[in-house]
Amino acid sequence: MINVIASIRVKEGRRAEFLDIFKANIANVLQEKGCLEYVPTIDVPTGLSPQALNEHVVTIIEKWQSLEDLRAHLAAPHMLAYRTAVKDIVADVSLKVLAAAE
């Protein structure tokens, strides 16, 4: 299994707009082969000292059966349309692709 943590920094004041576009695509992604989880999340203030809050970041938590499934996801037509729809909203993207340590 592959875990993905995608951090998407959106332009100031555009998080709600980004989330609307993102959420409209979730059903398409969940139907893809190998998709086990695909959830947008935002920071929750907790008062915990090591936590770094950023109201401009949406973190996507994903789980895929395989790296091949993830690669197919990134090339899917609905993902190309999504990236076009958010290109003027997104300031930066970072991606972590992880597997369980054994």
pLDDT digits (tens, 9 = 90+) for 10-46: 999 999 999 999 999 999 999 999 999 999 999 999 9
**What span, in angstroms and rounded, lies between the C-alpha atoms of 31 and 23?**
14
**Encoded tokens for 74:** 């990134």
What residues are paired with 41 via a beta bridge? 59
Closest CA to 62 of 84, 45, 79, 81: 79
Q: What is the predicted pLDDT for the residue at 69? A: 98
Q: What is the CATH number of domain 2-43+56-98?
A: 3.30.70.100
Query: Count of H helices and E strands in the chain?
Result: 3, 4
The one-letter amino acid at 11: K
**What span, in angstroms and rounded, lies between the C-alpha atoms of 86 and 102?**
37
